[in-house]
Structure 1
Amino acid sequence: MTPLVHGFDWPDRFVVGTVGQPGARTFYLQARAGSQLVSVALEKEQSAALALKIDEVLDRLMAEDGNPFSVPEKAPEGLLDHEPLDEPVEERFRVGTMSLGWDPTTAQIVIEALPLAGSEDEEALEEFDPEDFEPEEVLQVRIPVGSARVFARRARELVGAGRPICPLCGAPIEGDEHVCTLPDSFR
């Protein structure tokens, strides 16, 4: 079965955003072109990893002799987007895997998000073969290099805006009630 591809070749907007309060936030990738709006849920760590990898790809391209794709060193101020997610935020699927690519013919970063594969059922998980997994739908977004820098910056800022991390144990600090559990190496 051919998956439904939610394709955005030059979206009006592509952002990572959150719904909820720190400690109980849900992260979303959201793409919009005209009236087409697609939101997919992902983990905070996936958001951070995607931002890191986008910056790594852009840094490598920028380092090419003469910066042939005009990759900016940092997010262009005129493209920054601090607005909340577009409404309604309706989760199409939860992201399982993502891929990141580069299209030199259009000078665009290509991001593909596939749904979480498998099942909650333990017996079904034992029989699950990822090679046979065919997703029902896919989000595919193509964005220019300046927009990619802006996307990565926003994602890093959102990830960093969560609960503070304890410098000793690495766990999130929950208000004034944090009980630090030091790793064995500190005992």
Structure 2
Amino acid sequence: MSRVIHVFRQPERFVAGTVGEPGDRTFYLQAVEDARTVSVLLEKQQVSVLADRIAALLAEVVRRFGPELGEDEGEGTDTDPLAVPLEEEFRVGTMGLGWDADSRSIVVELLAVSEEEIDESVVLDDGEEGPDALRVFLSPPQARAFAERAEKVVQAGRPPCPLCAEPLDAEGHVCVRLNGYHQRRPVTE
């Protein structure tokens, strides 16, 4: 079967979002352009890493090419929910990130999980061989808005335990710092 590469050169939206309750959330990235919507499934950690890397790449682009690239064009953080119906194209395995000087865009490429080892030459390549991909071109303000929303989505989960930083469950938490025990207060009469 031939490789499918979904390319969004001028997306109206590129957002991270979730379905489910904290502690049982499924993470998605969704690109929308005209009447076309593509959603891909990924892990919480992947969303966090992508947001961090985009922020770092933006800082480097501004450093190298001037602060006018980092100026806002009125792009605010998108707070709308994911578009429905939510149908995943694939689960993300490998992620790639780059700067396209011609279009002055940050390019995000998300590759489907594959049984074979992914060579870095497959990332941002249009060859027939390789896993399915989602490639999105983002202006610097769009990339900044994506990173801000992605970070908020990741942080909106369960609060961390103040002792061990593991997520707290509504049903309780066995803290490794307390070796699973709670301090008992002496009963006073």
Q: Same fold (TM over 0.5)?
A: yes
Q: What is the alpha-carbon distance in structure 1 between the residues aligned to residue 174 and residue 84 of structure 2? A: 38
Verify: 1:178 aligned to 2:173, yes or no: yes
Q: What is the alpha-carbon distance in structure 2 between the residues aligned to residue 95 and residue 57 of structure 1? A: 21
Q: Is the 8 A contact 1:169 1:183 kept in 2?
A: no
- Cα distance, 1:64 vs. partner? 2.8
TM-score by length of 2: 0.83
Verify: 1:137 aligned to 2:136, yes or no: no
Superposed CA deviations along residues 128-151 of structure 1, whole A, max 9, x for unmatched, are: 5545x9544110000100000000
Report what 1:168 is aligned to: 163
Unaligned runs of 5+ in 2: 123-128, 180-189
- Cα distance, 1:65 vs. partner? 6.2
Please report the RMSD computed on the Cα atoms of aligned residues, expressed in angstroms: 2.2
Quickly say closer, same or farther: Cα 1:32–1:166, change in 2 above 3 A.
Answer: same
Quickly say closer, same or farther: Cα 1:176–1:136, change in 2 above 3 A.
Answer: closer
> Superposed, which structure 2 residues align to 1:138-153 within 5 Å?
138-153=133-148
Q: Is the 8 A contact 1:7 1:139 kept in 2?
A: yes
Q: Is the 8 A contact 1:2 1:136 kept in 2?
A: no
Q: What is the alpha-carbon distance in structure 2 between the residues aligned to residue 63 and residue 39 of structure 1? A: 32
Q: Is the 8 A contact 1:108 1:144 kept in 2?
A: yes
Verify: 1:71 aligned to 2:70, yes or no: yes
Verify: 1:82 aligned to 2:69, yes or no: no
- Cα distance, 1:63 vs. partner? 2.0
Unaligned runs of 5+ in 1: 119-127
> Superposed, which structure 2 residues align to 1:1-187 within 5 Å?
2-64=2-64, 66-67=66-67, 69-72=68-71, 78-118=75-115, 129-131=117-119, 134-175=129-170, 177-182=172-177
- Cα distance, 1:71 vs. partner? 0.9
Task: Give SS of 1:64's match.
Answer: helix
Residue correspondences, number: 171
Q: What is the alpha-carbon distance in structure 1 between the residues aligned to residue 118 and residue 109 of structure 2? A: 17
Q: What is the alpha-carbon distance in structure 2 between the residues aligned to residue 22 and residue 51 of structure 1? A: 19
Q: Is the 8 A contact 1:115 1:135 kept in 2?
A: no
Q: What is the alpha-carbon distance in structure 2 between the residues aligned to residue 140 and residue 146 of structure 1? A: 17
Identical amino acids, percent of aligned pairs: 43
Q: Is the 8 A contact 2:26 2:43 kept in 1?
A: yes
Q: Is the 8 A contact 2:114 2:131 kept in 1?
A: no
Task: Give SS of 2:7's match.
Answer: strand
Q: Is the 8 A contact 1:58 1:145 kept in 2?
A: yes
Counterpart residue identity of residue 91, structure 2: R
Quickly say closer, same or farther: Cα 1:63–1:13, change in 2 above 3 A.
Answer: same
Quickly say closer, same or farther: Cα 1:169–1:65, change in 2 above 3 A.
Answer: same
Counterpart residue identity of residue 112, structure 1: E
Superposed CA deviations along residues 94-118 of structure 1, whole A, max 9, x for unmatched, are: 0001000000111100000011122
